[in-house]
Structure 1
Amino acid sequence: MAYTLNIIGAGHVGRVLGRLFAAAGAFAVGDVLTRSHAGALDAVGFIGAGRAAPAMDQMRGADVWMLAVGDDQIGAVCAQLALCHPLQGAIVFHCSGAKSSAQLAPATQAGALAASVHPIRSFADPAQVAQHFGGTFCGVEGDAGALAVLTPALLAIGAQPVAIEAQAKTVYHAASVFASNYLVTVLDAALRAYQAAGVPEPVARALAQPLAAESMANVFRLGAPAALSGPVARGDMDTVARQQAALAAWDGPTGELYAALVPATAGLARRKTNIGKDPS
C-alpha cells in the first residue's frame, strides 16, 4: 500500500504536488490543511483526493507530512505539528528553496525523518504546471531515510531529483534568482536603454530577443566563458567606460547596474582567455 500523505499549506505548490502524487499513486493523500477551511476544500477539489481538515489538531496521522507553507512559517508550523501529533518514524518535508531541512528540527527531535524538496519552476498557473510537470528538476536534501521514500515518489510524477548540499541551500536558491529573476531585470535595462535611444518598445523587444536567445543558447551549449562576447570580452575598456558614463547620465540606477556587472564580466572574460591553455 502507498504511504499516506498529509498536506499542510495547500497553495499552488502544495496542491500541484498533492494532485500529482495522488494521480501517480505515489502517496495516498489523507488530510489537507490550509489557511481557511474553504481553501482546504478547494484544494481537495483540485487534488482530487483527501479530506479538508479544519485544524491541525484534528488531522489524522500520516506516514508523510508535506509542509508547503511560506519560508518564514516553516519552523513555527513544524513546532505546532510536533506538539499536535506523534511523529516517531514519520517523514516530514518542506518545499522551500531558500531554507534547509534543518528548519524541521522540532520534527526530528520528535523522532521524524526530515527533508526538503524544492521544485525548480514557477507555479503561477497550477493547472498548467500539473499538466506539464514531467521533467521538472527538484532540489532535494535531508535524511537518507526520508529521501529513500521521497525520491521514488518524485520519479513517479516525472520529476528529476537533484541532490544539493543543505548548508549551501541559500546559495542554491540564489542561483535560481540569478537564472530567472535577475535575468529579467537585466533584460528590462536593455529594453529601456533601446527606448531611450528612440527605439519603440515593440521594436526594442524584437531587437533584444535574438541577442538574448542566442546568448542563452550559447551558455547552455558551450558554457558561460565560451559564450561571452562584447567589449569586456575584447578588452575594450574605453568603450565600457563610455557606455557606463552615458548610462549614468541617462538613468543613475541603470548606470550603477552596468558598472556593478563589469568586474564579474571581466572575471568571466579572464576565464574565457584561459580556456584551452596548458596548465603546466
Structure 2
Amino acid sequence: MPTLAIIGAGHVGRTFGRLWHAAGTFDVVGVLARSAASAQEGVAFIGAGFPAAEVAALPVADVYLLAVTDDQIVPACAALAASRPLQGATVFHCSGALASGTLEAARQGGARLASVHPIRSFADPAAVVAAFAGTFCGIEGDEAALALLVPALEAIGARPVAIDPAAKTVYHAAAVFASNYLVTVLDAALRAYQAAGIPEDVARELARPLAQESLSNVFRMGPAQALSGPVARGDYATVQRQQAAVSAWDADTGTLYGALVPPTATLAARKVPKTASA
C-alpha cells in the first residue's frame, strides 16, 4: 500500500485522507498543519497518521497531497522539496484554478506531478465523506502520477475527468458561472420582484419554479433548446423597455441586464426550430 502524507489539515485534506484510509487505498502516515492542535484534529478525523506542525517532522511518503489554499501551494511545495528527496514520489494539489505545473519545485526534486480538483463543496467534511461516491474530479498531470491517482480516486467512488492544464483557469471559471454567478443573477431577480412590491419570501416562491424548471430543461435538453423569453422570441422592443425600467430602478442591475442580452441572443441563434407536425 503506498504511503500518503497530507500537507494542510483543512476540509479537503481531511476528507481525502479519511476516504483513502477507510478504503485501504493509501497508508496515511502524516498530516502537516500550521499548529500541532490542527494537525492532531486532522489525524483524529482521518483515523491515521502522525501530526506534524513543521515540514521537517512530516514522515517521508510515496505520495504527498498539498491540500492548502492556492496562494500557499508554491511555498508549501518549495518547503517540501527543501526538506527531503522527492525522487520517484508523486506530489499533487487540489486547486481548481492552478495547474500541476505550479509544483515545479517538486519536479526539480524528481517528483511526478498532478492536480486533482474535486467538484463539490467541502463545507461539511463528514457529510462529504458519507456521500462522496459519484463526485467528479478534474485531473491533469504527469502520466505516471495519474496512473497512481486515477485508480485511487476510483476506489473511493470518484469520477475522474481529464482536463487541459493550459485551460485550467477557464475550467475553474466554468464552476463560477454554474454556481456563483447563477446566485448573482437569481439575486437580481429576487430584488426586482421586491422592487415591484412583492415581499421577499413570496418573491422566492415566485422565482423558485422558474429557476428550477429552467435548470432542469438545460440539463435535459441543452441550453439552446431550454431558452425561452423575449430574446428567444426576438421581441427586442420588450427587451429595451425592460432594460430601461431596470436601469431606472437600479443602475448596476440594469448594466447586468444589458450585458446578458448579447450572449443570450447568440444562444437563441443556436436554437433548433421545432418542425411542423405532419
TM-score using structure 1 length: 0.96
Give SS of 1:93's match. strand
CA RMSD of aligned residues (A): 1.1
Give SS of 1:272's match. coil
Aligned to 2:137: 138
Task: State the Cα distance separating 1:54 from its structure 2 match.
Answer: 2.4
- Spell out, residue by residue over 1:119-143, the C-alpha distance to the aligned partner (whole angstroms, 9 max, x if none): 0001111111111111100000000
Unaligned runs of 5+ in 2: none
In the aligned structure 1, how far is the partner of 2:234 from the partner of 2:272? 11
Task: State the Cα distance separating 1:27 from its structure 2 match.
Answer: 0.6
CA contact (8 A) 2:15 2:129 kept: yes
Note the 1:1-280 alignment, pairs <5 A: 2-273=1-272
Match of 1:171, as an amino acid? Answer: V
In the aligned structure 2, how far is the partner of 1:26 from the partner of 1:196? 55
- Spell out, residue by residue over 1:143-184, the C-alpha distance to the aligned partner (whole angstroms, 9 max, x if none): 010001100110111110000000000000000000011101
Task: State the Cα distance separating 1:272 from its structure 2 match.
Answer: 1.1
Give SS of 2:139's match. strand
Unaligned runs of 5+ in 1: none
Task: State the Cα distance separating 1:273 from its structure 2 match.
Answer: 4.7
| Cα 1:108/1:275, change in 2 over 3 Å | farther
Greater mean deviation of Cα atoms: 250-259 or 92-101:
250-259
CA contact (8 A) 2:34 2:53 kept: no
Identity of aligned residues (%): 67
Match of 1:28, as an amino acid? Answer: D
Q: Which runs of 4+ in 1 moved over 3 A?
A: 273-276
In the aligned structure 2, how far is the partner of 1:85 from the partner of 1:8? 14
In the aligned structure 1, how far is the partner of 2:53 from the partner of 2:16? 21
In the aligned structure 2, how far is the partner of 1:274 from the partner of 1:18? 51
In the aligned structure 2, how far is the partner of 1:260 from the partner of 1:36? 46
CA contact (8 A) 2:91 2:111 kept: yes
CA contact (8 A) 2:34 2:54 kept: no
